[in-house]
């Protein structure tokens, strides 16, 4: 699979589509595609099917899910611009197979944005998060054999540990602030900041992806 099936006209067509939706204020949270409006995925493929990214755009459906999740977490202004940023960053003919593994490593162990910072050093969570990050670092491609390797390494338990660490971090906002309202606002701001950082990292990795050999 190569981005835009190696055709510049496909990129131009879909980029023009999402740009037009943004200009018409038709990119919105909460729905896939309805009455000419929708989310990042909906306004890109005019449906709710993430798999259409592969058939129509030559983009792995896993990246469509990632774009979707980040979009829904962003503030309105950033979210409106995100679909066009996403498509613009991808080179025609790029091999995007390692974008997700590299993003996953960053999300797990980046010292500023990774969930590892919420785990006590050498705790079960800390070990599990590092273990999964190491598996992702070793990938040269992403296929069924790689998925089996993660299963054999109890990756599901490690992912649960990562989620738990993130949950603990969110809970800390409320525990540390005497005002529930202020705590909720701080947590919301922190989430928006986190999603903005995730968006920037995804765009960076998409732009780095080279044309397939």
pLDDT at res. 177: 55
Q: 142 is written with which tokens?
A: 């992403």
pLDDT at res. 117: 86
pLDDT at res. 40: 96
Asked if residue 213 is part of any domain, the answer here is no
CA distances from residue 115 to 12, 69, 140, 197 in whole angstroms, order as listed: 36, 17, 24, 13
Q: Is 105 within 8 Å of 36 (Cβ atoms)?
A: no
32-44: per-residue pLDDT in tens? Answer: 999 999 999 999 9
Choose the final residue of a domain: 89, 119, 143: 89
Residue 146 and residue 107 share a domain: yes
pTM of the model: 0.80
Residue 204 and residue 127 share a domain: yes
pLDDT band at 85 (very low <50, low <70, confident <90, very high): very high
Choose the final residue of a domain: 32, 61, 89: 89
Residue 105 and residue 76 share a domain: no
Choose the final residue of a domain: 69, 89, 109: 89
Q: In what helix (H) or strand (E) does residue 34 lie, and over which residues does it extend?
A: strand 33-34
46-81: per-residue pLDDT in tens? Answer: 999 999 999 999 999 999 999 999 999 998 889 999
Domain count, the chain: 2
Asked if residue 13 is part of any domain, the answer here is yes
99-108: per-residue pLDDT in tens? Answer: 999 999 999 9
Q: In what helix (H) or strand (E) does residue 37 lie, and over which residues does it extend?
A: strand 37-38
Residue 83 and residue 129 share a domain: no
Domain limits for position 144: 99-208
Residue 200 and residue 107 share a domain: yes
Residue 171 and residue 149 share a domain: yes
What is the distance of C-alpha 212 from the center of its chain?
22
Residue 180 and residue 116 share a domain: yes
pLDDT at res. 186: 62
Nearest of 134, 54, 132, 133 to residue 96 by alpha carbon: 54
Give the mean pLDDT of 161-173. Answer: 52
Residue 49 and residue 103 share a domain: no
Distance separating alpha carbons of residues 63 and 201, to the nearest angstrom: 13
Residue 76 and residue 7 share a domain: yes
């Amino acid at each position: 699979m190569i981005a835009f099936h190696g055709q510049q006209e496909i990129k131009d067509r879909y980029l023009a589509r999402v740009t037009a939706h943004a200009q018409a204020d038709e990119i919105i949270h909460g729905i896939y595609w309805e009455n000419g409006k929708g989310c990042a995925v909906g306004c890109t493929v005019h449906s709710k099917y993430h798999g259409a990214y592969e058939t129509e755009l030559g983009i792995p459906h896993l990246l469509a899910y990632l774009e979707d999740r980040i979009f829904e977490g962003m503030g309105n202004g950033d979210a409106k611009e995100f679909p066009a940023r996403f498509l613009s960053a991808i080179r025609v003919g790029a091999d995007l197979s390692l974008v997700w593994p590299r993003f996953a490593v960053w999300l797990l162990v980046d010292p500023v944005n990774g969930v590892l910072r919420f785990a006590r050093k050498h705790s079960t969570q800390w070990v599990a998060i590092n273990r999964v990050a190491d598996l992702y670092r070793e990938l040269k491609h992403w296929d069924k054999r790689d998925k089996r390797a993660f299963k054999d390494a109890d990756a599901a338990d490690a992912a649960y540990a990562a989620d738990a660490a993130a949950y603990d971090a969110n809970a800390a906002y409320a525990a540390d602030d005497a005002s529930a309202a202020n705590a909720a606002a701080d947590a919301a701001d922190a989430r928006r900041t986190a999603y903005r950082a995730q968006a920037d990292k995804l765009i960076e990795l998409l732009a780095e992806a080279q044309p397939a050999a």
